[in-house]
Each structure stands twice: as structure tokens, then as C-alpha cells.
Amino acid sequence: MFGIDRRLVQNFDWMLLGLIALLACMGIVNLYSATTAAGDPLSDEVRRQLFSLGLGTAAALVVAAIDYRHFERLALPAYLVAIGLLVLTLVIAPVTRGSQSWLFGGRFQPSELAKVAIVLAVSRYFLRNPPGETRQLRDLFWPVLIVAAPVGLIVAQRDLGVALLTLLIGGTYFALVRIPWKVWFGIAALGVAALAALWTFGLADYQKERILAVVDPGRDPLASGYQVNQSRIAIGSGGLTGTGYRRGTQTQLRFLPTQHTDFAFSVVAEEWGFLGSSAVLTLYGTLLLWGLVVARSSKDEFGALLAIGVVGCLFWPAALNVAMVLGLAPVIGVPLPLFSYGGSALVTTLALTGVLLNVSMRRYVF
Amino acid sequence: MIGREQRTRLGGGDSVIPRRIPLIATIMALVFCVFYARLFQLQLIQSDDLRQRSQRNYVRTIRLEAPRGDILDRMGRVLATTRPAFGVQVVPNDLREPELVFEALGMLIDRAPDSLREQVGTPRGRARFQPVRLAGDLSQDQRGRVESHLYALSGVFTDVRPRRYYVEGALGSHILGYIGEIQRGQLEKRRFADYRAGEVIGQAGVESLLESKLRGRAGGRNVVVDVAGRLLRQIEKIEPKRGGDVVLTLDRDLQRAAEEALMPEVLGERGKIGAVVALDVRTGDVLAMVSKPDYDPNAFAGGIDSETWEALTEDEWRPMQNRAIAGQYPPGSTYKAFVAAAALEEGLVPPGKKIFCPGHFRLGRRTYRCWKRAGHGWVDLHKALVQSCDVFFYETGLALGVDRLAFFARGFNLGRRSQIRLPHEQPGLIPTSAWKERRFSEPWMKGETVSVAIGQGFNLVTPLQLALSYAAIANGGKILRPRLVLRSSDVDGNVTLGPEPEILGTVPVSERHLATVRAALEGVVHEPGGTGGRSRVPGIRVAGKTGTAQVVGLQHTEGIEEDEITFRHRDHAWFAAFAPVETPEIAVAAIVEHGGHGGSAAGPVVQRVLAAYFGDTEDRPEDERIEASAQPARVARVPGGIDVRN
């Protein structure tokens, strides 16, 4: 099963690897600006991120090396383990910062695993029950349940940002199913009702404030509106060409909150201007399109389903993060994949891109 | 290993997946288009505005207070200036070992470590980066000690701020005024529109009057701060500009002499309460203006503490009040000069007319006493003024009547504000029958005329008014507007000469009759039997008049020795004078509250002022002295002074 075919090397997707590496390296360059004051040695964050980059690359290569068709057998166990860990988290994990989502002393977030498990499990389900054959709502019972169960558990941990993210990633697959427009409207109505219910019963006041701050950043400039405001100021003051690397005042003087994690994109926008920020955005777009090309050119449906899942895993956090940074979405702590500081997220993301590499290099091989 | 039946080839037309991928791509592309549009909006359309807001984040302007201009006397001697005050500040966040630092700093600046710790407190968040000012005015010693230990005191630094300094302490405090933080009510006024809260502003006296000249132009430093407010570096600095100087008409030495004249003779004894005004009779220049008790305006320079303020405002003798312009007293016998002038002008006392003074005067059933119980015998106007005979003026006053008397008194500008440019001036009071009708709805009684004729009763004058009206007697009848400022410049160095000497009016008495009064007033000082002998100055012909203002009716003090009368019930002592008689230069009025008799209590005060004024001329050779008095050289010598020969 580990047999390395010569053709695998020939067909290796250097373009994909290049895009990923470029984004990850730009992330580190940006992290350096955001965390290291002039004259200081490399910050701890940069060191740790470099280490994670190495670890993640290794993970990606390992994931790429194993033929993805073996993953199908991993799907069920992985899904069950993920559910089990989420339940365990609810039972034993301490509540930190309003949510209860970390295990093993804050090193491991079962919801990270849940994303992967959902991708595997839904891919396996749609492999056996082709999405083109769904005719009515009840045909969607199982895939909805596969997504809803972990999402529900994450909601129970009161980690609404991640729950939403997980829901969206799982939801990516529903773009494939063939159901009548009437049903789509029904789902939309249900969704609106669910959101209304969530607003009334499910959200804490601070969460409502964050959402309202998007509509009107001036309503409380020192609390929830503060981050959005400072981010907008940082982005806007970048102008066309930016203030220059490591010369953004919003970044360097720390007016920008959590600039090395959630607001890393604001740092790029301030210091590199419209040219830099749209270049990063374009790189992301290219990576995502490339992922879809991989899905389209996959030799089989399972590869395509996996690739679509990975694209979803990259697209949704990136979209939520950029929307938040640009003041278009509420502040939910979603980092920008590959770019933001955060070791486990970087390793996970790189490992997922390993799946894309995997599918891509096996597009001609059987 | 992998079931064949599960492996569906993607190339076949049966799979929906490849056909749906463009849909997914389109959705993602739409989302990205929104992002591009938003970036375009923020970074290319709103960027100027947002860049400004970014600048407002990190650039902070630190105001640098400008020193106020100096206040100088007419000879250019400094009365109020600005000196550097050294302070100590700490940034709580940068205190590495707070306990040790407080301990050490306490020793260096002579403070208890506990009070320093309390002042700093335990700030949280951004407040930790805001400097706390622990002391605002260190002595030279303390500053030296702190600065030589700065290397060991992390988070501690020294600063310099301008502070008002009144070189002569309390000297002239009522004229100079004081400064203080601008008050809320003032901030709302339009003329203070460019002031900020916390800024120092003249709150009284010349400091307030000439605020627009004395005020400097604040500078500033633009500095870069981080989110915590920590100062990182300076971008630019605009130096503050010192305010303009003001040259007063005051003469420091004369002012000091006048103040010393009211000081206690013996150390530890209470000083005299009262006021002295010295004027140049040719220009109206205020050469000295003293009010006692006074206060040290330096107490206000760094913000006055409530204890000192309460002590000042609640003192029963009201040290903040400028008695020279706001103290209203019956003029007593000093008023007789005006009664005499009125009677002469009205032809009531033709040359040679005499009245017999038996020591008392009868009107109806009441008897009015002369101060000399034995009586003065036959007195003419000259002798009546010289010896201050009451009976002569009872009769003369009755002959004039209250309203004619008031006409002349007002002609000397009594009962009316002098228009000096100082706040809180009181107008005094010259009663008429109409006034009494209005005020009390009662007709005027003849007996009241008798009182008014010797300056008692309803009459009220301020020391400044009395000095001005005696100046008018001296200068041939001209009522001058008192002048305080010779010259001033503003912050840009534009010099403004003080107001020209201004004649407000002329007294309704001819020069011939004024000369008669002047001769009699000279007699008061120089003739045997005159009441003002205590005011003689060697070599100078002085003219003046004593006065005693009753505080309570005679019935309370009748028959009691002066020393035994309660201090508060004792009479006020007046003396008003001018000199030299042949070419008058200076007029002085002094009141000593509860001083008793004018001649003995107030006379020596005026004498010391005149002696100080003529002191330097006395040392000079005779011919020069005469020249000096013939020409007002004293005024001409003054920089910016205006030589006025009347």
C-alpha cells in the first residue's frame, strides 16, 4: 500500500505545492512583522510557526503518500472517535473563555478532528449513495445527520464560531445533491427560523454585540466595535501600496487587536496596501480553484468528494476570516488558514492539503 | 483491497459531481468579488479618511505651556516673572521595584514613601502607562538629588514647567492679582474660546486685566504613542512662546515704602489695616497702591490648596479685598477741603470773614461739638482748615445746604467710580436730599447737613477717590483718570503704549479759590497748631488734611480713653496730601482702619511715602533738585513714560 510509483513523482502537483508553500511562507513573513519589534531576535511565535510549518509539511507528504482510497475505511472509525471526543469534551473539559472546547490541557481541540471526520464520512456516504440520485428531502436524512451530530455537540460546547464553520464545511457537499427548488426554499426558511431562534435564545449578549458591530461599528467603539474599527483603519491606511513592511503603525504600535492570529490579513493590508492584500486574496482564490480542478480531474468520485471537502475546509474559514477582518461579518475567532499564527491549525491545514496533493498525483494512476 | 463495485469512474457521464463543480467555483468567486470590492472601497476610496484616523491613533500632541510675560514697575524692575518649576513623574508600569523606588524617592524629595505610594495607587490597563506627577515644584537641592539618582530609579523622570513667580512676594498683590486654572464658567465665554481646561489664566488684578498681553503662545510636541499610550518617539516640536511684558505705572520702591508704612513698628505686633494710594497729579499715574492685610500671590502659582484659600477668604479682615478702591469710608475732616472750596466759589466766605467757635454748635435742640471742646475762638477759613475747626464747617455747610455741597463734591469726582481699570471698584456716596427721599422716603434733616459738612454721616469715599480729588486740588482742578499701565507688548512683540493721560473733567472751582485752599492745606502741615505736622518732609512743602472717620456714634466712645475702646469701635484715621506745594507732583491718601486720629495715625504713613518719593531728590545738589521739580523729569526718565506738563 505504500508502493511509490514512478508516475506518482512525475505527476506530482508542483503548482499546488507551490501555492501552499507560498501562502505559508508569506504567513511567516507577515507573522514576523506582527510579532517582532525592531532590533529584537526572532519572536517565539515565529519560531513555533516555523516548527509547525516543518511538521505540517511532513504530515502533508505522509498524507499524500498513502493512496487516498484507503481513507474510505478510516471514515467510520474516525467519525466515531471524533464524536466520542466531542462528548468527552463536554463531560470533562474545563470552560475557558466562555467555551468548553479544549482537551488535554488546551493542546487539542476535538472540533478540528471533527472537520476531517465529517469530510471523510460524508465522502464515504455520497460514494455509496450518489448525490445525483437524491430526489426528495428524506434522501438527505443521513448526510444531514452526519453533519448535524458533531455540529450540535460543538454548539453544546458554546463554541458557535467553530460550529458555524463545521456546518458550512459539511454543507459544501449539499451543493452536489439534486433536489427541487421548493425544497431549497424550505431549507432556507428553516435556516432563517433557526437563526431567529438562535438570536433569541442561543446567543449571549457579547455575541449579539459582535454581530451588531458589523452593521454599525460606531455603536460601541471601545468594546466589540473596537476590533472591527481598528481593523478597518489598518486596512484603509494601507492605501494602494501600503505603509511598507514592518512600518504599519496600526500593527507595530499594537492598535490592531490579535494581529498575529485573527487579524493577520489586516497586517498585510496595512503594510502592503491594496496591491498586497488583493495579491494574497488572489493566491487564495487560485489555490481554491486549483483544488476544484483537482476534484474535477480526479480519477474517481471518492477523490473528487475528498477534494471538494478539503476545498471547503480551506474556503470557509478563509471567507469568514476575511469577511470579519473587512468588517463584513461579526468577529468570530476564525483564523486565516495557512496564514494566521497557530501551530495545530497550520499542521491540520497542511495535512488536509496533503489530501489534495494525494488526489492530484493519482489522477492518472490505477 | 478496494471493492471494484464501489469505485465509480468519474469520466463516465453518470456522475453529478463534475457538473456541480462550476457551481461551487461560481459561489466562491462571488464571495471573493465581494472581498475585492470591499478592499477597493477601504483602501482606495476611504483610505485618506482612515489614514487620518490611524494618525489620530498614534500621534499625540503634548502641550507645552508657554511662560507668561513679566510684569514690571515703571523703572523696569521685575514684579512678576516666570521661573522653571521642576517636577517628578513616574510611569507606574516602568517601576521595577516600586517599594524600593518609593522609599528612595521619598528620601530624595522629603516625602513619606506611603504618600507617594498612595498617589500612584495601583492603576490597571492603559492607566499603568500614564505618568503620575508626584511633585510639581522641587527645591534646587531636591532636584539635584533626584537627578543624580535617576539611573537607579526605573520609571522615574523629571520635568520642567513654567511657574508664575512674584519676586516681591505680597508686594502690590492687589494690583498684580494672581493666576489660576481657568474655571468652567470662564471656558464657556467667547473671549476665552481658545483656552483649554486646565490652562492657567489671570484671575485677578493686572494678571486678569492684561491677560491677552501676558499670555504666551503654547507650543507642543507631536509624539508617537502605542496602544497603551506609551511615548515612543518625537515627531516634531513647536517651541512655546513667552507672553508679552507689561510695564506698570507703579514705582516698586514707593510701593514698598507705602507697605512698610503700614507694617508693625515692633516685630510681632499686628500691622495696620488700611490702604494707601499715591498718584502723579500731572498724569494720573498710580505710583503706589497698597491695601493691608494682603496676601502672597505666589500661593496661587501652583494651584492654591483649599486650606490656604479658605484662610484667605474667611479671614475677618478680608485680605483679598483691595481697600484702596473697594473700601468705602466716611471721609471725615479731609472732606472740609471740598466744603471750603464750595463755600469760596459760592461767595459764602468773603476774605476776612470769621466765625466764632465756642467749642460747640447748637441747631434746634441739639448740640454739635467741635473736636476741641475749649473752642477755637474767632476762626477764618484758613485757620478753620489748619486747625480743622468743626463749628466753622457746621455753619458753612448749613449755609451751603446739602445739595449745593453735593454738587461741588461730585465736581471733585467723589461719589463716582474713578474708571481705574481694576474690577470691584466702589463708587462711594455723596448724599443729596433727593437721594435720601429715594432711599429712605424721608425728607432731609438739617442736622444731617451738619454731619455731612464735616465728612461724617452718609458720606463715603474710597482712598483712591480721595487721592484723585486732592490731586485735582493740587493740579489746578483737573480730574484725571487713574492710569496703571505705561506700556505693554503682546506675544508677538507688538508694543502698545498705555492709555494717554486722560482728563475726565474739571472741578467747578476757580483756580483763585483752589489756591486759597492749597495755602490752607499747606498750613495744616507747616503752621503751628496745624493738625498735620506729623507729615512734614524736610525740604519739601507739603499740603494735606487730616481726617477721622467715625465708626460708631460718639455715645459709644464718649468719655473713654482711646486705648480702652474696643479696636473695632475705634475711628478710622485719614490723611490726604500733595507735594511739593509750588509745583505739585504727587498726591497721597492713606487710611488706617481703627487707627484713631488722622494726624497721629495716618499722617506718618503719608510722611513716609512722601519721604521715599523725594528721598532721592534730596541727595542731589540744590540746583538740580529745583530743575527736577520744575520739569517732571521723573516721568520723562521712565522708559515709555509720557511727559505731560499741565
Q: Is residue B506 part of a domain?
A: no
In the predicted model, what is the mean pLDDT of residues A126-142?
82
What does the block give as the cell for B206?
493686572
Is pLDDT of B331 > 80? yes
Contact in structure between B542 and B503 (CB atoms under 8 Å):
no
Whether the CB-CB separation of A135 and A96 falls below 8 Å is answered with no
What is the structure's pLDDT at B62? Answer: 84
Mean pLDDT, all residues of chain A: 86
Domain membership of residue B141 (yes or no) is yes
Q: Is B37 on the interface with A (CB under 8 A)?
A: no
From the list B1, B35, B55, which residue is nearest A281 (CB)?
A: B35
The pLDDT of B524-533, averaged and rounded, is 88
Report the candidate in B638, B223, B174, B147 with the shortest Cα–Cα distance to residue B424.
Answer: B174
Q: How far apart are CA A324 and CA B487, in angstroms?
A: 66
Question: For the segment A59-83, what is each residue's pLDDT rounded down to a tens digit?
Answer: 999 999 999 999 999 999 999 999 9
Chain B interface, mutation test: which of A72, A124, A214, A233, most B Cβ atoms within 10 Å? A233
Residues 212-231 of A with CB under 8 A from B: 230
CA atoms in the 13 A half-sphere facing the CB of A188: 6
The string of pLDDT tens digits covering residues B398-413 is 999 999 999 999 999 9
B5-19, B21-35, B440-454: lowest mean pLDDT where?
Answer: B5-19
Amino acid at the residue B89? Q
What is the pLDDT, as a whole number, of residue B616? 56
Query: Is A176 part of the contact surface with chain B (CB cutoff 8 Å)?
Result: yes
Is residue B68 predicted with pLDDT exceeding 50?
Answer: yes
Domain count along chain B: 1
Percent of chain B having pLDDT more than 70?
Answer: 90
pLDDT for residue B638:
34
Q: What's the pTM?
A: 0.73
Q: Do B38 and A176 touch (CB under 8 A)?
A: no
Asked if A132 reaches chain B (Cβ–Cβ under 8 Å), the answer is yes
Catalytic-role residue among B291, B333, B451, B488: B333
What confidence score (pLDDT) does residue B623 get?
41
Residues of A in contact with B56 (CB under 8 A): none
| Joined grid coordinates for residue B257 | 515704602
Alpha-carbon distance of A355 to B2, in angstroms, equals 18
> What are phi and psi for residue B216, nearest 5 degrees?
-85, 180
Q: What is the DSSP string of A56-77?
A: HHHHHHHHHHS-GGGHHHHHHH
Q: Mean pLDDT of all residues in chain B?
A: 86
Looking at chain B, the whole-number percentage of residues with pLDDT higher than 90 is 51
Residue numbers in B near A365 (CB within 8 A): none
Tens digit of each residue's pLDDT (9 = 90 or more) over B552-577: 665 555 666 666 667 777 889 999 99
pLDDT at B1 over 50: no
* Alpha-helix runs per DSSP H in B177-223: 184-187, 205-209, 211-214
Residue A93 has pLDDT above 90, yes or no: no
Q: Is the pLDDT of residue A14 over 60?
A: yes
* Calpha distance B617→B407 (Å, rounded): 39
Question: Would residue B204 count as lying in a domain?
Answer: no
Chain B residues 285-314 with a CB less than 8 Å from chain A: none
Contacts of A205 (CB under 8 A, 6+ apart): none
Please answer yes or no on whether B43 and A235 come within 8 Å at the CB atom.
yes
- Domain holding B112, by residue range, is 92-120+133-154
Closest CB to A274 among B25, B39, B225: B39
Cβ atoms of B366 and B578 within 8 Å: the answer is: no
Is the Cβ of B9 closer than 8 Å to some Cβ of chain A? yes
Q: Is B21 on the interface with A (CB under 8 A)?
A: yes
Residues of chain B numbered 197-256 and touching chain A (CB < 8 Å)? 224-228, 232
Q: Does A344 touch chain B (CB under 8 A)?
A: no
A277 vs B39: CB contact, 8 Å cut-off? yes
Is the backbone of residue B71 left (phi > 0), alpha (psi -120 to 50) or beta? beta
Q: Note whether A249 contacts B14, CB cutoff 8 Å.
A: no
Instruction: Check residues A150 and A257 and name the one with the higher pLDDT.
Output: A150
CB A64 within 8 A of CB A357: yes
The verdict on residue B143 lying in a domain is yes
Query: Rounded to 10 degrees, what is the CA torsion of B99, B100, B102, B104?
Result: 160
- What pLDDT is recorded for position A223? 60
Q: What is the reported pLDDT for B554?
A: 58
Residue A94 scores a pLDDT above 90? no
Residue B321 pLDDT exceeds 50: yes
Q: Is the residue at B338 inside a domain?
A: no
Provide the pLDDT confidence category of residue B550 given band limits of 50, 70 and 90.
confident
- Whether chain A has a CB inside 8 Å of the CB on B17: the answer is yes
Mean pLDDT across B269-273: 76
Q: Active-site residue B333, yes or no?
A: yes
Overall average pLDDT of the B16-39 stretch:
92
DSSP line for B90-125: E-GGG-SSHHHHHHHHHHHTT--HHHHHHHH----G
Instruction: Answer whether A261's CB lies under 8 Å from A335's CB.
Output: yes
pLDDT on residue B195? 87
Q: Which residues of A touch B27 (CB under 8 A)?
A: 175
Model pLDDT, residue B624: 40
Nine-digit cell string for A198: 438562535
User: What is the grid cell recorded at B296?
Assistant: 502672597
Using CA coordinates, name the residue in chain A closest to B20.
A176
Taking a C-beta distance cutoff of 8 angstroms, is the pair B325, B462 a contact? yes
Mutate to test the interface with A, among B4, B8, B9, B10 (most CBs of A within 10 A): B10
User: CA B62 to CA A329: how far, in whole Å?
Assistant: 38
Say if the Cβ atoms of A311 and B32 lie within 8 Å: no
Quote the ipTM score.
0.93
Q: What does the block give as the cell for B456?
A: 461724617
Residue B426: the pLDDT is 93
The pLDDT value recorded for residue A149 is 92
**A238 and B47: CB-CB below 8 Å?**
yes
The pLDDT of residue B267 is 61
The mean pLDDT of A132-144, rounded to a whole number, is 81
Question: Is residue B111 in some structural domain?
Answer: yes
- Selected for mutation to probe chain A from B1, B14, B24, B38 (highest A CB count within 10 Å) is B24
**Whether B50 and A235 lie within 8 Å, measured CB to CB:** yes
Q: Is a pLDDT exceeding 70 seen at residue B97?
A: yes
Q: Which residue has the higher pLDDT, B561 or B634?
A: B561
Range of lowest pLDDT (B51-55, B150-154, B246-250): B150-154
Over residues A333-344, the mean pLDDT reads: 88
Looking at the partner chain, which of A132, A232, A289 has a beta carbon nearest the beta carbon of B42?
A: A232
Chain A: nearest CA to B52, how far in angstroms?
Answer: 8
Whether B160 and B84 have beta carbons less than 8 Å apart is answered as: yes
Band (B637; pLDDT cuts 50, 70, 90):
very low
Indicate if the pLDDT at residue A40 is higher than 50.
Answer: yes
CA distance B48 to chain A (A): 7
- How do the domains of chain A map onto residue ranges? 6-361
- Which residue from B minimizes the CA distance to A126? B17
Give the gap in angstroms from C-alpha A90 to the nearest C-alpha of chain B: 34
Q: Report the distance separating Cα B420 and Cα B422, nearest Å.
A: 6
Is the predicted pLDDT of residue A349 greater than 90, yes or no?
yes
Q: Which amino acid makes up residue A366?
A: F
